[in-house]
Amino acid sequence: MMNRRNALKKTSLLLGAGTVSAFMPSMGSFGKPKPHFLIGACDWSIGKSSDVGALELGKKMGLDGIQVNMGTAANDMHVRRREVQEVYKAAARKWGVTIGGLALGELNNIPYKSDSRTDVWVGDSIDAARNLGVKVILLAFFNKNDLRNDPQGQKVVIDKLKQVAPKAEKAGVILGIESYLNAADHLKIIEAVGSRNVQVYYDVRNSSDMGYNIYEEIRWLGKQKQICEFHFKEYDALLGQGIVDFRKVREAIDEIGYSGWVQIENAVPKGGQILESYIANNAFVRKILA
């Protein structure tokens, strides 16, 4: 009996140690945790915007997950509906691909800064995120929703985010602002809102196109814990073959201690095939972030 008890105790300790190690971050030099990255893709960039078929395609690409567009005005932002969410959850289980984020791309056409319909969309997207196990919702501020040189539009957005931020905080969801604003102007909005659950969704190519020093912006925003997630993007080129130096991006990311999702956007050469391009992009990002 004593031998059996000792054996059971030893087994319990071993199982406990195994359980702890499974959830402990791996340690790098000097005892610092190594960053952990998950690689995904925007469903609108792989030809499957707001389409559950993006998860199957993500599996073929070897991705960890897919960033899902909530929908359009035409389909009444259909990912808000619980039955649609259950279809996504079933597909995620089937294909072993995570729902890695949500996005409100329709804000580019129906602006958050000027259309009251968007208030309901943003609020409902938080409920969807909670049900789908998603932690970041991208709010897009381009085209008709551009905030540059629009102080009144910025004020409206600040007021709206102040209203919805408590709901995001309660749900444990971050609202990520993606725009053409520079780091300082992003931070002005975030500080005016005054919520830890409103942060910058940093797109390296968008900011490069604006002429910003993206490597310094990442460091500056990141050290203030104001970057919720990244888009790795290029136009008409594979990642690593365009204007962004992703090795320097990795150096900046290391300095701020970021871990989490990196979503690939666009990055298909002219005349290139989406599947082949994303297999190559996925391999490149994994090499850079290894």
**Half-sphere exposure at residue 14, Cβ-oriented, CA atoms within 13 angstroms:** 6
CATH fold of 38-289, please?
TIM Barrel (3.20.20)
Whether the Cβ atoms of residue 73 and residue 110 lie closer than 8 Å to each other: yes
Predicted pLDDT of residue 33 = 60
Least confident span in 1-5, 143-147, 166-170: 1-5
What is the band of 8 on the pLDDT scale with cuts at 50, 70, 90? very low
pLDDT digits (tens, 9 = 90+) for 11-48: 333 333 332 222 233 334 344 566 699 999 999 999 99
Give me the residue spans of the domains in the chain: 38-289
Contacts of 77 (CB under 8 A, 6+ apart): 70, 71, 104, 106, 121, 124, 125
Q: What is the DSSP letter of 33?
A: B
| pLDDT for the residue 32 | 53
Nearest CA among 77, 181, 154 for reference residue 122: 77
Residue 18 has a pLDDT of 31
Biggest alpha carbon–alpha carbon distance for the chain:
79
